[in-house]
Copies of this chain bind each other. A is one copy, B any other.
Amino acid sequence: MDEPITTYDVIVVGAGYAGLTATQDLLKAGKRVLLLEARDRVGGRVHTQQFDDGSYVDLGGAWVGPSQDRIYALARAYGVETFKTFDTGKSTQFFRGQVKRYKGLIPPLPVGALISLDRAIKKMNRMAKAVDLAAPWNTPNARQLDSMTLATWMEKQMHFSVARQFFKVAAEAIWAADPAEISLLHALFYVKSGRNLDTLMNVKDGAQEERFVGGAQTVANRMVATFPEQIVYNTPVRAILQTDEQVQVVTEHVTYKARYVIVTVPPALQSRIDFQPLLPAQRAQLIQRLPMGAVWKCYAIYDKPFWRDQGLNGLAATPDGPITVTFDNSPRDGSQGVLMGFVLGNQAQAFSILSDEDRKRAALNAFATFFGPAARQPVRYLDHSFMNEEWSRGCYAGVPGPGLWTTLGPVLRQPVGRIHWAGTETSDVWNGYIDGAVRSGERVAKEVIISDE
Residue positions of A touching B, CB distance < 8 A: 143, 146-149, 151-152, 155, 177-181, 268-269, 271-272, 274, 278, 280-282, 284-285, 288-292, 294, 346, 349, 352-353, 385, 387-388, 390, 393-394, 401-404, 406-408
Give bound CA distance, A155 to B155, whole Å: 15
- Known contacts A148-B151, A148-B180; 7 additional CB pairs below 8 A are A149-B152, A178-B407, A181-B404, A281-B349, A281-B385, A281-B388, A285-B393
Cβ-closest chain B residue relative to A236: B274
Kindly list the 6 A-B residue pairs having the minimum CB-CB distance in the complex, ordered from nearest: A180-B403, A288-B291, A281-B387, A147-B180, A281-B352, A181-B403
A402/B180 in contact, CB under 8 A:
yes
Give bound CA distance, A136 to B351, whole Å: 21
A282/B352 in contact, CB under 8 A:
yes
User: How many whole Å from A291's CB to the nearest CB in chain B?
Assistant: 4
Q: Assembly of this chain: how many copies? A: 2
Give bound CA distance, A253 to B180, whole Å: 44
B149/A147 in contact, CB under 8 A:
yes
Give bound CA distance, A291 to B288, whole Å: 5
A394: chain B residues within 8 A (beta carbon): 284-285, 288
Give bound CA distance, A281 to B406, whole Å: 29
B282/A292 in contact, CB under 8 A:
no
Pick the residue among B152, B289, B292, B390 that contacts A147 (CB under 8 A). B152
User: How many whole Å from A392's CB to the nearest CB in chain B?
Assistant: 10
A152: chain B residues within 8 A (beta carbon): 147-149, 152
A387: chain B residues within 8 A (beta carbon): 281, 284-285
A408: chain B residues within 8 A (beta carbon): 349
A181/B285 in contact, CB under 8 A:
no
User: How many whole Å from A4's CB to the nearest CB in chain B?
Assistant: 20
User: How many whole Å from A423's CB to the nearest CB in chain B?
Assistant: 15
A388: chain B residues within 8 A (beta carbon): 278, 281
